[in-house]
Amino acid sequence: MDLPTIWFLAVTVLWTGYLVLEGFDFGVGMLVRGLGRTEEDREVALGAIGPVWDGNEVWLITAVGAMFAAFPAWYAATFSGFYLPVLFVLLALIVRGVGLEYRHKREDAAWKARWDAAIGIGSLVPAFVWGLVLANLVRGLPTVAGPAGNGANTVVTAGLGDLFNGYAVLGGVVTTALFLLHGAVFLALKTDGPVRYRARRLAVRAVVPVLLLTVAFLTATLVLRDPSWTTPVAWASGLALALAGFALLLGREGWAFTATATAVGGLSVVLFGQLHPELLVSTTDPAQTLTVAGAASAPYTLTVMSWVAGVFLPLVLVYQSWSYWVFRKRLGGPRVDPAAVPAP
Protein backbone atom coordinates (compact mmCIF):
# COMPACT_ATOMS: atom_id res chain seq x y z
CA MET A 1 0.00 0.00 0.00
CA ASP A 2 1.50 3.34 -1.08
CA LEU A 3 1.63 6.48 1.06
CA PRO A 4 -1.19 8.38 -0.73
CA THR A 5 -3.55 5.46 -0.08
CA ILE A 6 -2.44 5.23 3.54
CA TRP A 7 -3.15 8.92 4.03
CA PHE A 8 -6.53 8.63 2.34
CA LEU A 9 -7.32 5.92 4.89
CA ALA A 10 -6.04 8.22 7.64
CA VAL A 11 -8.31 11.05 6.49
CA THR A 12 -11.22 8.60 6.38
CA VAL A 13 -10.52 7.45 9.93
CA LEU A 14 -10.25 11.03 11.19
CA TRP A 15 -13.52 12.11 9.55
CA THR A 16 -15.23 8.96 10.80
CA GLY A 17 -13.99 9.59 14.33
CA TYR A 18 -15.21 13.18 14.14
CA LEU A 19 -18.68 12.22 12.90
CA VAL A 20 -19.09 9.50 15.53
CA LEU A 21 -17.87 11.58 18.48
CA GLU A 22 -19.15 15.00 17.51
CA GLY A 23 -22.34 13.38 16.23
CA PHE A 24 -23.73 12.75 19.70
CA ASP A 25 -22.64 16.27 20.74
CA PHE A 26 -24.71 17.71 17.91
CA GLY A 27 -27.62 15.46 18.85
CA VAL A 28 -27.57 16.59 22.47
CA GLY A 29 -27.36 20.23 21.37
CA MET A 30 -30.41 19.84 19.16
CA LEU A 31 -32.37 18.04 21.89
CA VAL A 32 -31.52 20.11 24.95
CA ARG A 33 -34.69 22.23 24.89
CA GLY A 34 -36.95 19.39 23.83
CA LEU A 35 -35.82 16.94 26.49
CA GLY A 36 -35.04 19.47 29.21
CA ARG A 37 -38.36 20.59 30.66
CA THR A 38 -36.69 22.33 33.61
CA GLU A 39 -33.44 24.19 34.05
CA GLU A 40 -32.15 21.29 36.13
CA ASP A 41 -32.89 18.90 33.25
CA ARG A 42 -31.10 21.13 30.77
CA GLU A 43 -28.09 21.41 33.06
CA VAL A 44 -27.95 17.61 33.27
CA ALA A 45 -28.18 17.23 29.47
CA LEU A 46 -25.47 19.78 28.73
CA GLY A 47 -23.34 18.50 31.57
CA ALA A 48 -23.23 15.11 29.85
CA ILE A 49 -21.23 16.59 26.95
CA GLY A 50 -19.50 19.33 28.94
CA PRO A 51 -16.21 17.48 29.55
CA VAL A 52 -15.84 16.11 26.01
CA TRP A 53 -17.39 18.36 23.35
CA ASP A 54 -14.33 20.57 22.77
CA GLY A 55 -12.04 17.53 22.64
CA ASN A 56 -14.30 15.95 20.03
CA GLU A 57 -13.86 19.00 17.79
CA VAL A 58 -10.12 18.31 17.67
CA TRP A 59 -10.95 15.46 15.29
CA LEU A 60 -12.31 18.00 12.78
CA ILE A 61 -9.18 20.15 13.03
CA THR A 62 -6.99 17.09 12.55
CA ALA A 63 -9.06 15.76 9.63
CA VAL A 64 -8.98 19.09 7.80
CA GLY A 65 -5.28 19.51 8.57
CA ALA A 66 -4.53 16.06 7.17
CA MET A 67 -6.47 16.91 4.01
CA PHE A 68 -4.51 20.14 3.61
CA ALA A 69 -1.11 18.53 4.11
CA ALA A 70 -1.64 15.22 2.32
CA PHE A 71 -3.97 16.31 -0.52
CA PRO A 72 -3.67 20.08 -0.99
CA ALA A 73 -5.50 20.09 -4.34
CA TRP A 74 -8.44 18.22 -2.78
CA TYR A 75 -8.50 20.61 0.17
CA ALA A 76 -8.41 23.68 -2.06
CA ALA A 77 -11.09 22.46 -4.48
CA THR A 78 -13.42 21.14 -1.76
CA PHE A 79 -13.40 24.09 0.60
CA SER A 80 -13.53 26.68 -2.17
CA GLY A 81 -16.39 24.80 -3.84
CA PHE A 82 -18.32 24.61 -0.56
CA TYR A 83 -17.29 28.06 0.62
CA LEU A 84 -20.69 29.28 1.82
CA PRO A 85 -21.84 26.02 3.47
CA VAL A 86 -18.49 25.64 5.26
CA LEU A 87 -18.65 29.30 6.34
CA PHE A 88 -22.06 28.62 7.88
CA VAL A 89 -20.59 25.59 9.67
CA LEU A 90 -17.75 27.65 11.12
CA LEU A 91 -20.14 30.36 12.30
CA ALA A 92 -22.45 27.74 13.78
CA LEU A 93 -19.60 26.04 15.64
CA ILE A 94 -18.47 29.39 17.04
CA VAL A 95 -21.99 30.27 18.20
CA ARG A 96 -22.45 26.80 19.66
CA GLY A 97 -19.16 26.94 21.56
CA VAL A 98 -19.92 30.39 22.95
CA GLY A 99 -23.38 29.21 23.96
CA LEU A 100 -22.05 26.20 25.84
CA GLU A 101 -19.67 28.44 27.78
CA TYR A 102 -21.85 31.53 28.28
CA ARG A 103 -25.28 30.17 29.16
CA HIS A 104 -24.05 29.60 32.73
CA LYS A 105 -22.79 33.17 33.20
CA ARG A 106 -26.14 34.61 34.30
CA GLU A 107 -29.03 33.22 36.34
CA ASP A 108 -31.63 34.60 33.98
CA ALA A 109 -34.18 32.39 32.22
CA ALA A 110 -34.38 34.52 29.06
CA TRP A 111 -30.58 34.68 28.80
CA LYS A 112 -30.28 30.90 29.06
CA ALA A 113 -33.16 30.33 26.62
CA ARG A 114 -31.42 32.44 23.97
CA TRP A 115 -28.17 30.54 24.38
CA ASP A 116 -30.00 27.22 24.32
CA ALA A 117 -31.50 28.26 20.97
CA ALA A 118 -28.01 29.19 19.76
CA ILE A 119 -26.68 25.80 20.86
CA GLY A 120 -29.53 24.07 19.02
CA ILE A 121 -28.99 25.99 15.78
CA GLY A 122 -25.22 25.70 16.13
CA SER A 123 -25.63 21.92 16.33
CA LEU A 124 -28.24 21.59 13.57
CA VAL A 125 -26.31 23.49 10.87
CA PRO A 126 -23.10 21.38 10.88
CA ALA A 127 -25.11 18.17 11.34
CA PHE A 128 -26.92 18.89 8.06
CA VAL A 129 -24.09 20.53 6.11
CA TRP A 130 -21.50 17.79 6.65
CA GLY A 131 -23.93 15.25 5.21
CA LEU A 132 -24.60 17.60 2.28
CA VAL A 133 -20.87 18.08 1.61
CA LEU A 134 -19.92 14.39 1.77
CA ALA A 135 -22.85 13.39 -0.45
CA ASN A 136 -21.87 15.98 -3.05
CA LEU A 137 -18.31 14.71 -3.10
CA VAL A 138 -19.57 11.22 -3.90
CA ARG A 139 -22.10 12.44 -6.47
CA GLY A 140 -19.68 14.77 -8.22
CA LEU A 141 -19.58 18.50 -8.97
CA PRO A 142 -19.13 20.70 -12.06
CA THR A 143 -15.55 21.91 -12.41
CA VAL A 144 -13.18 23.76 -14.73
CA ALA A 145 -9.41 23.66 -15.08
CA GLY A 146 -7.46 26.09 -12.94
CA PRO A 147 -4.83 28.55 -14.18
CA ALA A 148 -2.25 25.82 -14.70
CA GLY A 149 -4.66 23.92 -16.93
CA ASN A 150 -4.29 20.53 -15.22
CA GLY A 151 -6.22 18.40 -12.80
CA ALA A 152 -4.14 19.47 -9.83
CA ASN A 153 -5.74 22.91 -10.21
CA THR A 154 -9.37 21.83 -10.44
CA VAL A 155 -11.82 24.62 -9.62
CA VAL A 156 -15.37 23.77 -8.52
CA THR A 157 -17.97 25.92 -10.30
CA ALA A 158 -21.05 24.65 -8.46
CA GLY A 159 -23.49 27.20 -7.10
CA LEU A 160 -25.80 26.72 -4.13
CA GLY A 161 -28.47 25.31 -6.44
CA ASP A 162 -26.08 22.61 -7.61
CA LEU A 163 -25.17 21.68 -4.03
CA PHE A 164 -28.78 21.32 -2.91
CA ASN A 165 -29.65 18.44 -5.21
CA GLY A 166 -31.99 15.66 -4.07
CA TYR A 167 -29.29 13.13 -3.20
CA ALA A 168 -27.18 15.62 -1.23
CA VAL A 169 -30.18 17.00 0.67
CA LEU A 170 -31.12 13.44 1.61
CA GLY A 171 -27.56 12.99 2.85
CA GLY A 172 -27.91 16.08 5.05
CA VAL A 173 -31.25 14.89 6.40
CA VAL A 174 -29.81 11.46 7.18
CA THR A 175 -26.79 12.78 9.09
CA THR A 176 -29.07 15.14 11.05
CA ALA A 177 -31.48 12.31 11.92
CA LEU A 178 -28.65 9.93 12.83
CA PHE A 179 -27.03 12.51 15.09
CA LEU A 180 -30.36 13.21 16.81
CA LEU A 181 -30.77 9.50 17.53
CA HIS A 182 -27.11 9.16 18.53
CA GLY A 183 -27.46 12.09 20.92
CA ALA A 184 -30.67 10.74 22.46
CA VAL A 185 -29.04 7.38 23.09
CA PHE A 186 -26.01 9.12 24.60
CA LEU A 187 -28.26 11.03 27.01
CA ALA A 188 -30.02 7.79 27.93
CA LEU A 189 -26.62 6.28 28.66
CA LYS A 190 -24.97 9.18 30.48
CA THR A 191 -27.77 10.74 32.54
CA ASP A 192 -30.29 9.70 35.15
CA GLY A 193 -33.72 10.95 36.05
CA PRO A 194 -36.29 12.53 33.68
CA VAL A 195 -33.76 13.32 30.94
CA ARG A 196 -32.71 9.69 30.74
CA TYR A 197 -36.24 8.36 30.38
CA ARG A 198 -37.38 10.98 27.90
CA ALA A 199 -34.26 10.42 25.82
CA ARG A 200 -34.78 6.66 25.79
CA ARG A 201 -38.43 6.99 24.76
CA LEU A 202 -37.54 9.41 21.99
CA ALA A 203 -34.76 7.13 20.76
CA VAL A 204 -37.08 4.10 20.67
CA ARG A 205 -39.62 6.03 18.59
CA ALA A 206 -36.97 7.47 16.29
CA VAL A 207 -35.16 4.22 15.41
CA VAL A 208 -37.53 3.10 12.66
CA PRO A 209 -37.79 6.46 10.80
CA VAL A 210 -34.02 6.97 11.04
CA LEU A 211 -33.42 3.41 9.83
CA LEU A 212 -35.67 3.94 6.79
CA LEU A 213 -33.96 7.22 5.90
CA THR A 214 -30.50 5.73 6.32
CA VAL A 215 -31.29 2.65 4.24
CA ALA A 216 -32.73 4.85 1.48
CA PHE A 217 -29.60 7.00 1.40
CA LEU A 218 -27.20 4.06 1.56
CA THR A 219 -29.08 2.34 -1.26
CA ALA A 220 -28.91 5.49 -3.39
CA THR A 221 -25.18 5.73 -2.64
CA LEU A 222 -24.52 2.15 -3.70
CA VAL A 223 -26.57 2.61 -6.89
CA LEU A 224 -24.85 5.89 -7.71
CA ARG A 225 -21.41 4.30 -7.98
CA ASP A 226 -19.83 0.84 -8.06
CA PRO A 227 -20.75 -0.66 -4.67
CA SER A 228 -17.60 -2.84 -4.47
CA TRP A 229 -16.70 -3.79 -0.89
CA THR A 230 -18.89 -1.11 0.70
CA THR A 231 -22.11 -3.11 0.36
CA PRO A 232 -21.46 -5.26 3.48
CA VAL A 233 -20.57 -2.09 5.41
CA ALA A 234 -23.87 -0.52 4.36
CA TRP A 235 -25.74 -3.63 5.51
CA ALA A 236 -23.87 -3.57 8.82
CA SER A 237 -24.79 0.09 9.33
CA GLY A 238 -28.49 -0.62 8.81
CA LEU A 239 -28.35 -3.72 11.01
CA ALA A 240 -26.67 -1.71 13.77
CA LEU A 241 -29.59 0.74 13.81
CA ALA A 242 -32.07 -2.11 14.11
CA LEU A 243 -30.04 -3.62 16.96
CA ALA A 244 -29.97 -0.23 18.68
CA GLY A 245 -33.76 -0.32 18.86
CA PHE A 246 -33.78 -3.80 20.40
CA ALA A 247 -31.09 -2.81 22.89
CA LEU A 248 -33.11 0.22 23.98
CA LEU A 249 -36.23 -1.90 24.49
CA LEU A 250 -34.16 -4.18 26.72
CA GLY A 251 -32.75 -1.22 28.66
CA ARG A 252 -29.19 -1.87 27.44
CA GLU A 253 -28.22 1.71 26.68
CA GLY A 254 -24.51 0.97 26.41
CA TRP A 255 -25.11 -1.55 23.64
CA ALA A 256 -27.52 0.87 21.97
CA PHE A 257 -24.89 3.60 21.96
CA THR A 258 -22.33 1.21 20.50
CA ALA A 259 -24.84 0.34 17.78
CA THR A 260 -25.62 3.96 16.84
CA ALA A 261 -21.90 4.75 16.83
CA THR A 262 -21.40 1.80 14.47
CA ALA A 263 -24.18 3.08 12.22
CA VAL A 264 -22.66 6.57 11.99
CA GLY A 265 -19.19 5.15 11.42
CA GLY A 266 -20.49 2.74 8.80
CA LEU A 267 -22.17 5.56 6.89
CA SER A 268 -18.89 7.49 6.83
CA VAL A 269 -16.93 4.46 5.66
CA VAL A 270 -19.44 3.82 2.86
CA LEU A 271 -19.20 7.41 1.62
CA PHE A 272 -15.39 7.54 1.62
CA GLY A 273 -15.21 3.98 0.27
CA GLN A 274 -17.48 4.91 -2.62
CA LEU A 275 -15.32 7.95 -3.31
CA HIS A 276 -12.01 6.05 -3.56
CA PRO A 277 -9.86 6.10 -5.70
CA GLU A 278 -11.22 9.53 -6.60
CA LEU A 279 -11.28 12.45 -4.21
CA LEU A 280 -13.51 14.87 -6.09
CA VAL A 281 -15.47 13.73 -9.14
CA SER A 282 -15.94 16.23 -11.99
CA THR A 283 -19.34 15.96 -13.68
CA THR A 284 -18.27 18.21 -16.54
CA ASP A 285 -14.82 16.93 -17.51
CA PRO A 286 -13.45 13.56 -16.35
CA ALA A 287 -9.93 14.94 -16.87
CA GLN A 288 -10.58 17.33 -13.95
CA THR A 289 -11.46 14.56 -11.51
CA LEU A 290 -9.07 14.57 -8.57
CA THR A 291 -7.64 11.17 -7.64
CA VAL A 292 -5.76 9.92 -4.61
CA ALA A 293 -2.58 9.44 -6.65
CA GLY A 294 -2.85 12.68 -8.62
CA ALA A 295 -3.73 15.05 -5.78
CA ALA A 296 -1.29 13.75 -3.16
CA SER A 297 1.63 15.74 -1.79
CA ALA A 298 5.21 14.82 -2.58
CA PRO A 299 6.49 11.51 -1.12
CA TYR A 300 8.88 13.36 1.21
CA THR A 301 6.00 15.36 2.69
CA LEU A 302 3.90 12.25 3.24
CA THR A 303 6.85 10.45 4.81
CA VAL A 304 7.47 13.24 7.32
CA MET A 305 3.75 13.39 8.10
CA SER A 306 3.72 9.65 8.71
CA TRP A 307 6.50 9.87 11.28
CA VAL A 308 4.82 12.80 13.07
CA ALA A 309 1.45 11.03 13.11
CA GLY A 310 3.05 7.81 14.33
CA VAL A 311 4.48 9.63 17.35
CA PHE A 312 1.70 12.03 18.35
CA LEU A 313 -1.53 10.33 17.27
CA PRO A 314 -1.26 7.51 19.85
CA LEU A 315 -0.69 10.10 22.57
CA VAL A 316 -3.82 12.00 21.57
CA LEU A 317 -5.87 8.80 21.46
CA VAL A 318 -4.63 7.71 24.88
CA TYR A 319 -5.42 11.12 26.39
CA GLN A 320 -8.93 11.27 24.93
CA SER A 321 -9.66 7.68 25.95
CA TRP A 322 -8.51 8.53 29.46
CA SER A 323 -10.80 11.58 29.59
CA TYR A 324 -13.80 9.45 28.58
CA TRP A 325 -12.87 6.94 31.25
CA VAL A 326 -12.66 9.63 33.94
CA PHE A 327 -16.13 10.95 33.04
CA ARG A 328 -17.68 7.54 32.41
CA LYS A 329 -20.33 7.62 35.14
CA ARG A 330 -23.88 8.88 34.73
CA LEU A 331 -24.61 12.50 35.51
CA GLY A 332 -27.01 12.45 38.42
CA GLY A 333 -30.60 13.58 38.28
CA PRO A 334 -33.56 13.26 40.64
CA ARG A 335 -34.74 9.69 41.16
CA VAL A 336 -38.19 9.30 39.63
CA ASP A 337 -40.56 6.60 38.49
CA PRO A 338 -39.99 6.19 34.72
CA ALA A 339 -43.74 5.76 34.14
CA ALA A 340 -44.36 9.16 35.71
CA VAL A 341 -42.08 11.05 33.32
CA PRO A 342 -44.08 12.78 30.52
CA ALA A 343 -43.17 11.80 26.98
CA PRO A 344 -40.92 14.20 25.03
Asked if 22 contacts 58 with a C-beta cutoff of 8 angstroms, the reply is no
pLDDT at 341 over 80: no
- What are the residue ranges spanned by the domains of the chain? 3-298
89-97 contact pairs (CB < 8 A, 24+): 89/125, 89/126, 89/129, 89/130, 91/125, 92/121, 92/122, 92/123, 92/124, 92/125, 92/126, 93/57, 93/122, 93/126, 94/122, 95/121, 95/122, 96/29, 96/121, 96/122, 96/123, 97/54, 97/122
Q: What three-state secondary structure class fits 252?
A: coil
Q: Pairing mode, if any, of strands 143-145 and 154-156?
A: antiparallel
Confidence class of residue 77 from pLDDT cuts 50, 70 and 90? confident
pLDDT at 159: 83
Q: Where are the alpha helices (H) located in the chain, listed in sequence order?
A: 3-35, 39-49, 53-70, 72-81, 83-102, 109-139, 160-163, 166-190, 194-224, 230-249, 253-275, 292-295, 299-326
146-202 confidence digits (pLDDT tens): 665 444 577 888 888 889 999 999 999 999 999 999 999 999 999 988 899 999 999
Sequence-distant (≥ 6) Cβ neighbours of residue 298 within 8 angstroms: none
Nearest residue to 156 (alpha-carbon basis) of 54, 73, 62, 94: 73
| Mean pLDDT of the region 298-319 | 88
23-68 confidence digits (pLDDT tens): 999 999 999 988 888 889 999 999 989 888 888 888 999 999 999 9
Residue 49 has a CB neighbour count (10 Å cut-off) of 25
Q: What three-state secondary structure class fits 279?
A: strand
Give the CA count within 13 Å in the CB-facing half-sphere of 297.
Answer: 19
pLDDT at 309: 87
Mean pLDDT, the chain, rounded, equals: 89
Asked if 153 contacts 73 with a C-beta cutoff of 8 angstroms, the reply is yes
Sequence-distant (≥ 6) Cβ neighbours of residue 316 within 8 angstroms: 58, 62
Confidence class of residue 238 from pLDDT cuts 50, 70 and 90? very high
324-335 confidence digits (pLDDT tens): 888 778 776 555
CATH of domain 3-298: 1.20.1630.10
pLDDT at 333: 55
Single-letter amino acid, residue 22: E
pTM score? 0.91
16 compared with 309, residue with greater pLDDT: 16
Asked if 57 contacts 19 with a C-beta cutoff of 8 angstroms, the reply is no
| Mean pLDDT of the region 3-10 | 94
